[in-house]
């Protein structure tokens, strides 16, 4: 990423208890670890199985653990930090980057082009390899879920530019939807 101002803009707000920050009532340990920016929830479960996580001096052997803000969580010998503010970034994805954290084909990813100082970031939605345009990124999985989930009814509008000549009949077929194998 060449310049932070031309590729993305950050917006933040205080973290709410519903976004993985432990509270008096508590949150599952994997969610708290993910929200702190260490890893995904699935990775957190693997770290727990590997014996890398302790709560109040006891090494966990199961992710079925609820922690509160009074618990002392240690990951790889270091105390888990606070989740901090939930942030939302607007990122202009150029063509040629894959919207995934790890591509099995070894292609460059959006996340490899972000500054390491952002910590763990997840995408809200995806853009294809050859697509370019606005991509929303966040450090809060709950926020991503709220924006992405179809049951919430957020309307999405897309503008598409096609190169070459399209007949009206081809446009009419595209308007009805296209299925690719």
Which pLDDT tens digit goes with each residue over 23-44? 557 889 998 988 887 888 899 9
Domains of the chain, earliest start first: 4-13+84-175 (3.30.70.580), 22-79 (3.10.290.10)
Question: What's the predicted TM-score (pTM) here?
Answer: 0.64
Q: How far is CA 57 from the centre of its chain?
A: 30
Which pLDDT tens digit goes with each residue over 55-105? 999 999 999 999 998 999 999 999 987 777 888 999 999 999 999 988 999
Pairwise CA distance, residues 54 & 60, whole Å = 5
Pairwise CA distance, residues 19 & 147, whole Å = 13
Closest CA to 89 of 116, 114, 59: 114
Closest CA to 32 of 67, 3, 2, 57: 67
CA atoms within 13 A on the CB side of 29: 27
pLDDT band for position 22 (50/70/90)?
low
pLDDT band for position 12 (50/70/90)?
very low
Q: In terms of pLDDT, which residue wins out, 177 or 158?
A: 177
For every residue of 108-135, DSSP letters joined together read -BTGGGS-GGG-S-EEES---TT--EEE
Q: Active-site positions?
A: 128
């Amino acid at each position: 990423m060449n310049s932070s101002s031309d590729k993305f803009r950050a917006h933040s707000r205080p973290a709410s208890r519903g976004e993985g920050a432990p509270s008096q009532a508590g949150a599952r340990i994997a969610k708290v670890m993910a929200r702190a920016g260490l890893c995904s929830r699935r990775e957190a479960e693997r770290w727990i199985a590997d014996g890398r996580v302790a709560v109040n001096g006891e090494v966990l052997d199961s992710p079925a653990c609820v922690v509160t803000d009074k618990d002392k969580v240690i990951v790889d010998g270091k105390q888990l930090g606070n989740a901090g503010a939930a942030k939302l970034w607007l990122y202009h994805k150029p063509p040629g980057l894959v919207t995934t954290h790890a591509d099995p084909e070894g292609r460059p990813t959006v996340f490899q082009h972000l500054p390491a100082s952002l910590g763990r970031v997840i995408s809200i939605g995806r853009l294809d390899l050859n697509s370019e345009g606005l991509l929303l990124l966040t450090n809060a999985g709950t926020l991503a879920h709220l924006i992405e989930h179809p049951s919430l009814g957020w309307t999405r509008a897309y503008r598409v530019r096609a190169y070459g000549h399209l007949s009206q009949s081809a446009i009419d077929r595209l308007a009805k939807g296209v299925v690719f194998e």
